[in-house]
A and B are shown apart, each in its own frame.
Chain A
């Protein structure tokens, strides 16, 4: 029976829709023309200029510090949460599961404003700490979901076997569970890291005047800055993102 070509056509159109704007941006980062409407030859000038932008590098440094700190904390919180959700099915866990899914669906602006008001109410000054606290809050849910996905394919009999062979609870966890779970935790950590590096809305609300992260810098560049420099910076970030997705995909599909 002949299959309709319609879904294929839509899918091809959607892929073009997804990738053409990104492709144009990448190509324009090598375009000598300032506005990118016409092709005026290859250049690496924008990258050279980017290298001289002190503020961008300072913002990148701050962004990486925030991403490392929030990833570390959210991996611990997210993994323990996933283990609890996987092992127990009590009423507490139903509430726990609902609570974890809130940051996944809540519009970012609501998370941003509610955290801003919370920090104002408890008298915490906006700055590095408030940004890290906010990032851990949304990252932990994503880590929990990724690790939970990995746990669904996990054979609990392996832990039982280790216990039967005389391993204590802690030894069984450390020598059996964690090594098998490591790819899932790695994929969750990569996602948490990427989300932290990319986040603009929530960060914008809870960052103090001195806490200019890379996305906040990019935002002000989009509003007032030079397009070719943003193209060059975006291209670098896109390459890093593609590498992260590729690595995470390898981790996620690796057999245990």
Chain B
């Protein structure tokens, strides 16, 4: 049905392409592209008295972003997302390596175990940690018993708790693309490197890691980009001193009711996300593994 068989071509083919493409193209244009453009437009509108979108144009909202408190929150957002990505990759590379080399039955089981959290409610997974880290919870009791933390220490509502839960929720998105690349990797190359005198770690770092670099790049972006937009995790297990850009956007929408201000912050976040996102699209176009599809099937 495609270029290999040149039979049915011409206007019929064009019509059927149009018929199959236009519903989703139209839908995504109206509900993804237009809304994203609107975010940038509304950032240039003044708020009306109810915090809705006022008339006229103004750069006042954008100017109000130049506060020191915003710079601090923006830095924290990037910093926590970066650390989340680093921890996820450190755990995902050995996991992907093992799943990629496991035999068929083990591979199916391990993949299923990685995919289940992806399907499980985000809120429930955060709540599970909130219970574990609670002052009366199991982890606190264990740490106090071991003498690692004083009885008065709080494990919840700090940047450490936010980071832990961010790693917990993002990890499947790191493992799946690494595995997808490892599955295609020829493990005998590692044996060959060992035969030629490489140490286990040397073979791993200089043969396996470069061999799956595309998967590593996809995993990095799939963890980093959504992390930049984190909002419920800092909201539920963080404190005002660990809040991220997403929290401020939500406050402007739900608490202060100032849509143009929320819009300006969202425009900044979109711009920050767009750069790595374009990299993902380029990667996809070059036939990179679509990790989330694997998560899905």
For window 79-135 of chain B, which residues contact chain A by CB distance below 8 Å? 91, 94-95, 97-99, 108, 110, 112-117, 119-132, 134
Structural contact, A107 and B225, CB atoms closer than 8 A: yes
Say whether B229 contacts A108, CB under 8 Å.
Answer: yes
Chain B positions 225 through 248: 1 when the CB is less than 8 Å from some CB of chain A, otherwise 0: 110111110001000000000100
Contact B128 A21 (CB under 8 A): yes
Write the chain B residue with the least CB distance to A73. Answer: B27
Answer yes or no: A156 CB below 8 A from chain B CBs.
yes
Given A110-B229, A113-B253, check contact A84 B266 (CB 8 Å). no
User: Contact between B116 and A242 (Cβ–Cβ < 8 Å)?
Assistant: yes
Contact call B27/A77, Cβ cutoff below 8 A: yes
Q: State whether the Cβ of A102 lies closer than 8 Å to any Cβ in chain B.
A: yes
Decide if B155 is an interface residue (CB 8 Å cutoff). no
From residue 235 to 292 of chain B, which have CB atoms closer than 8 A to chain A?
236, 246, 249-250, 253, 259, 262-263, 266, 269-270, 273, 277, 280-281, 284-285, 290, 292
B42/A89 in contact, CB under 8 A: no
- Minimal beta-carbon separation of B240 from chain A (angstroms): 15
A105 contacts B131, C-beta separation under 8 Å = no
Which residues of A have CB within 8 Å of B232? 200-201, 219
- For chain B, residues 195 to 234, give those with C-beta under 8 angstroms from any C-beta of chain A: 200, 204, 221-222, 225-226, 228-232
Picked from A118, A133, A230, A241, the residue with its CB within 8 Å of the CB of B34 is A118
- How many angstroms between the C-alpha atoms of A187 and B266 in the bound complex? 33
A115 within 8 A of B: yes
The docked-state distance in angstroms from the alpha carbon of A146 to that of B25 is: 18
CB-based contact B97/A22 at 8 Å: no
Q: Which of B9-36 contact A (CB under 8 A)?
A: 16-17, 19-21, 23-25, 27-29, 31-36
| Cβ-defined contact, A77 with B94, below 8 A | no
How many whole Å from A13's CB to the nearest CB in chain B? 8
Cβ of B176 < 8 Å from any Cβ of A?
no
Stretch at the interface among B56-64, B136-144, B145-153: B136-144
Interface residues on B, range: 35 or more
B27 x A140 contact (CB < 8 A): yes
Judged by a CB distance under 8 angstroms, whether B194 is at the interface is yes
CB contact between B117 and one of A10, A18, A146, A159 (< 8 Å): that residue: A18
CB distance from A177 to the nearest CB of B (A): 10
In the assembled complex, the Cα of A147 lies from the Cα of B228 at a distance in Å of 29
A-B contact pairs, 23 of them (CB 8 A): A14-B95, A19-B113, A21-B168, A22-B128, A24-B128, A77-B27, A93-B21, A96-B24, A99-B25, A101-B290, A109-B246, A117-B35, A117-B53, A118-B31, A118-B38, A133-B31, A136-B31, A169-B16, A191-B119, A197-B121, A215-B123, A218-B123, A245-B119
**A102-B28, A110-B273 given. 13 additional CB < 8 A pairs?**
A11-B110, A14-B91, A25-B127, A36-B131, A88-B20, A99-B32, A106-B277, A107-B273, A108-B231, A120-B52, A120-B53, A144-B24, A198-B122
